[in-house]
Structure 1
C-alpha cells in the first residue's frame, strides 16, 4: 500500500481523541512530562492495565503515527514529535525505553515510550514516523515487530541514548561511534549488542 505524509490512523479514525496542538514545526520542546504508570482504563470495550513489566517481550503488529499528532501532548504530558525516536504503548510505564525490532528485516531501534495506544486489534505498538523510517516500513504502514522493555527513561526528553544506539546499528546511515560506560545511565542500555 502506497503511503502519503499523513498517518495511516488520523485522529478521526481512532477511538481516543487527540489533544490540542501545542507546538508546530520541526523544533518541538523535549521532556516536560511526568513519570506515570497509570490506572486501568477502557477503550472500545477493552480494558488495559498499565504496569511495570521488566520482562516485557512481545511480538505483534507495529504501526506508525505522524503529521496528525505532531505537536500534540502525549499521555504523560510531553509533546509528540514525529521526528523523534518515540512510541506509544498501551501499558508500559511512561516514559520508558523499549527495543523495537522489525521482524521482516531485523532492524532494531531503541525508542522512548511516552504515549498510550494503539487501540486497534493486533497492534502492540504505535511508532513515530522517524522510527518507521529507520525500521524501513514507513511506506507499508504496518509491520511485524518485537517489543522488549529496556528500562525507565529520564524525564528530560534527551534522546542521546536512542540516537547513540541507532548510530551503532550496522544498517544505520547515522554513522557509527563508540559509547563510553559513563554515557550509559540505564543498566538495560548496556546490553545494546543484545538483539
Structure 2
C-alpha cells in the first residue's frame, strides 16, 4: 500500500511539474540554424503553389502556416531581415529555416552555407 501511495505522489508531482514549467508560446523567439536555397530551385513551384525566386525575401519552415512573417536575426552579426514563409523544409533536423538567397545574403555570408539564427513571428 505504501509503495502505491508513493508512486501516486511521484506521478502527481511529475504531472504538475510538466504543466507549471511549460510556458511555451508560439510567438517566442527561437534559435536554430538556417541555410539557403540553391539556384536550381528558381522558377520551381513551392509547397504553397507560389513560384520560387531566390531574389525575394522568403523562407521554408516545416510547420508554420504559409504567409507567416518572420524576423530572422543572424546571431553572429546581429543583422535582421523579415521573410515570408511560402514553402516546406528544410528537411535537415538541425535547421529550422531555408532562406532565399536574397534573405540569407542580406544578413549572412553565403560562403558559409549555414548560420546560427534567432527567429520570431512578426505581425
Spell out, residue by residue over 1:124-146, the C-alpha distance to the aligned partner (whole angstroms, 9 max, x if none): 10000111110122111100001
Match of 1:75 in 2: 47
Spell out, residue by residue over 1:75-114, the C-alpha distance to the aligned partner (whole angstroms, 9 max, x if none): 1110110000000011110021100000000000000110
Match of 1:140 in 2: 112
Deviation at 1:56, TM superposition (A): 4.4
Question: Number of residue pairs matched?
Answer: 99
1:165-184 matched pairs, under 5 angstroms:
none
Match of 2:10 in 1: none
Structure 2 CA distance for aligned equivalents of residues 73 and 60 of structure 1: 26
Match of 2:36 in 1: 64
Tell me how large the CA RMSD over aligned residues is.
1.3
TM-score normalised according to structure 2 size: 0.76
Match of 1:116 among 79, 84, 88: 88
Structure 1 CA distance for aligned equivalents of residues 43 and 83 of structure 2: 18
Matched, 1:94 2:94: no
Spell out, residue by residue over 1:29-79, the C-alpha distance to the aligned partner (whole angstroms, 9 max, x if none): xxxxxxxxxxxxxxxxxxxxxxxx751421011100131111111111101
Deviation at 1:121, TM superposition (A): 2.1
Q: Which has the higher helix share?
A: 2
5+ residue gaps, structure 1, are 1-52, 151-187, 189-195
5+ residue gaps, structure 2, are 1-24
Match of 1:131 in 2: 103
- 2:54 partner SS: coil
